[in-house]
Structure 1
């Protein structure tokens, strides 16, 4: 015979007690009479409660429908966000006065990374109803923008077991920025990265995948994290063993590193709704353009055979066909009203390489509906494949820089060959892709539209899914 469970024993004992009580003579003076009545009253209450209890429980049908909707919305995957110690993110922001050796970064990092409002300076250039969507946004704030959006993402989960992708909210670019320009040691430049890797390598889900399903935003160009020797520029974070298999979202990638993904530089336009985007697209489509091309930048006189200087000379020689914005010093670091107005007024915008192969101006130009002209393929074509059209000629022009240097081609001569219809089609393609190049101002994104953040997250889910296929080779 099987032993009785504790529940069965308790039930039998209660029944025996009640039977004994019932067999006792009942009288108001007998205390046992009140005990029996009390027990009976409690039993009646319990029976009544049990009969009405199901009506107080919500029907399971809505919960099933809700789960189905959630599964449909997050069919690509779920996000898990590590709760890193605040020294890796929030404390860095709190220390904004000391993130730059020359001046405070607090204004630039304010408003959840969007920066100070630009409405006053852009009045008369931007439609009045869109002025609140414009800010003086710093080019190095993707770490903040992504963090804010991910913690509010509809597919964020608290249970790591159900996650497809694991996000490490470490502000690597902001942490190292201060030390790039000082006479700092290699240890100082690597300190935050070393501490973060020491922390993450102890996490069970990092150990499980060896980092393959993890990602991080690094809000600077990849070369700022690829120091080979102690005396060289930057941090060596990307070369650290623990981060080797982690996917890295950067504003400029190494085209030959699988784990580097290029994401758009932040611009000043942050739509608050789908209607903001549509309104802006209509505005730049209808905008009259009086100049054939433009160039916003400054020569690099310290560089031998500076190509920017060549382009500035050609712009000036082109007369009214070209508009120029002199960006000497730091006057154009986060955009100016003169730059936006110039891009809005020009069919084409010249985009030579910057201090590195990419520059924020590419995205400022395209958001204004101007057609970019490239001279290095690594400036865009090998950088932002998730965000730009697959056919470069559909939205841009490529000119051989060597032919421009030796005088066999002029920029004006090349651009004048395009018919008005060809220019219209290229501009239309640029305008079509504006949503994928901007970061929305809302924490939940834009209803029915994918912005740069959404495109990046979808790309990550697709990449991690591909990595799980049997034919995909992963080293340990």
Structure 2
């Protein structure tokens, strides 16, 4: 079997002319994946039957054209980006520096690869789909969507997913037919909006129609951002650049966050806000610019005299994606800020929300779809007041409400309590490194929370199905 894998990848390398580095990367991924799948039974037996009760997952054996083959096209979409450099370390990307033990240049598009690698370590895998409580489809949907969004198939985006569905129908169809897809789930590393183009759009507009296909209505899709009224999908955290490999690394980082001196009242890291049209990002930039001029106001003098802050607002310009693979550019300022502003951009949610939590910076939201209506498994809706601030964007943009006034009006004792709540969230929104220590595995991370939520969702769906 290993020989056939090697021959397959040699053929891939020849046909696509991928670099030697990328070739061996794919070989390592495929070898690790294949060996893990071969050892599924022994891996599963490491957990007791009681521990895995109602938690068994079967990984559907998909042809490599649905996942690994797609990685060989990593440089073929000039209108998008060349994501080849970020395939390293099974999708975590290259380390930020040689001696780094936890920080990588992670691209959010590779959440599918990260998730695939992690699920191979899941202790309750089974080769028997008939006893599985859930079936995982290792399909790199977002990467495959690039050919419809930026590539040659842009005018046939309504076909996205049909090849997968046809395969599921003729290859061991009983697996799908057992619950008509209700027990299947996959990861899609782009906002659900990108997969929600109506099937009858002519000519096609932005996006593919994967989530509009009736064939996939029953499947659970894990996405970094869901729609306002999701039917198929559930939002999971964007991957940040922090991926600890052991408990000591996680605890050391949390301790650093806890003791970091917060010298700025609030921070905005992002782009936009330069158009003439009124919007929340423009209001934030204007207020930050004015705050440096008016930082001698009496209310700020009180804070400054107490030695709390040296500046009211700090901005990090992340225009044109310059921050995306450079966590040092924005993490250091986040460590020095008390509040991190999370205005919506092209879509309501932001990866920056999870960067801020990782830095112990209290997130400030301006619309509920940015997080409260998204990440219920990882950020419980009923606890948002404990770790975040909500300021309606309409109040800021159209009614002149000052963000600084709201934040400076929060008692210092309350700020301390909120930051403690943020610290407790760090493990829940972190995707730890694959192959991490046993000690770290006792702490549930973003992947574990996603699996727990998915299993419960599927259990509820099947129960409803049985009840009619």
Contact 2:427 2:444 in 1 (8 A): yes
Comparing 313-322 and 285-294, the one that deviates more: 313-322
- 2:149 and 2:47 map into 1 onto residues whose CA distance is 47
**1:139 matched to which residue of 2?**
108
2:109 counterpart SS class:
coil
Q: Any conservation in 1 of the 2:77–2:151 contact (CA below 8 Å)?
A: no
Distance in 2 (alpha carbons) for counterparts of 1:110 and 1:303 = 41
Q: Is the 8 A contact 1:152 1:444 kept in 2?
A: no
- What CA deviation, in whole Å up to 9, does each residue of 1:38-75 have, x standing for no partner? xxxxxxxxxxxxxxxxxxxxxxxxxxxx9695213313
Aligned counterpart, 2:279:
306
How far apart, in 2, do the equivalents of 1:178 and 1:316 lie? Answer: 41
**5+ long unaligned stretches in structure 1:** 1-65, 121-127
Instruction: State the match for 1:410 in structure 2.
Output: 402
**Aligned counterpart, 1:222:** 192
Taking a change above 3 Å as real, the CA distance of residues 274 and 444 of structure 1, as seen in their structure-2 partners, is closer
Pick aligned residue for 2:177 from 207, 212, 232: 207
Residue matched to 1:336: 327
Q: 1:365 aligns with which of 328, 337, 356?
A: 356
Deviations 1:152-171 (A, max 9, x none): 21111111111110011110
- Where do residues 45-444 of structure 1 align in structure 2 (5 Å cutoff)? 69-101=47-79, 103-119=81-97, 131-181=100-150, 184-187=153-156, 189-202=157-170, 203-228=173-198, 229-230=201-202, 231-301=204-274, 304-319=277-292, 320-389=311-380, 390-443=382-435
CA distance in structure 2 between the partners assigned to 1:347 and 1:474 by the alignment? 49
Instruction: Tell me the equivalent position of 2:459.
Output: 465
Structure number with bigger Rg: 1
TM-aligned CA deviation for residue 109 of structure 1: 2.3
Deviation for aligned residue 1:183:
7.4
Change (3 A) 1:114 1:68: closer
Which digits, 9 at most, give the CA deviation of each residue in 1:236-271, with x for residues without a partner?
011112111000000001231232110000000001
Q: Does the CA contact (< 8 Å) of 1:210 and 1:245 recur in 2? A: yes
Separation in 2 of the partners of 1:149 and 1:116?
18
Secondary structure at the counterpart of residue 441 of structure 2: coil
Post-superposition offset of 1:304: 3.0
Aligned to 1:34: none
Cα RMSD of the aligned pairs, angstroms, is 2.1
Q: Cα–Cα, structure 1 residues 374 and 261, in superposed 2: closer, same or farther, change >3 Å?
A: same
Per the TM alignment, residue 466 of structure 1 is displaced from its structure 2 partner at its CA by 2.2
- Which of 380-389 and 330-339 deviates more? 330-339
Gap change, CA 1:253 and 1:147, over 3 Å in 2: same
Counterpart of 1:30 in structure 2 is none
Structure 1 position 190, deviation (Å): 4.5
Matched length: 399
Aligned equivalents of 2:246, 2:338: Cα separation in 1: 27
Give the whole-Å Cα distance in 1 for the aligned partners of 2:460 and 2:451: 14
Structure 2: state its 5+ residue gaps.
Answer: 1-43, 293-310
In 1, the alpha carbon distance for the partners of 2:351 and 2:466 equals 34
1:454 to 444, 448, 452: 448
Assess if the C-alpha contact under 8 Å between 1:149 and 1:444 holds in 2: no
> What TM-score do you get using the length of structure 1 for normalisation?
0.80
Structure-2-length-normalised TM-score? 0.81
- Tell me whether 256-265 or 377-386 shows the greater mean CA deviation: 256-265
| Counterparts of 1:464 and 1:114, CA distance in 2 | 28
Question: Does the 8 A contact of 1:436 with 1:450 survive in 2?
Answer: yes
Q: How big is the shift at 1:463?
A: 1.7
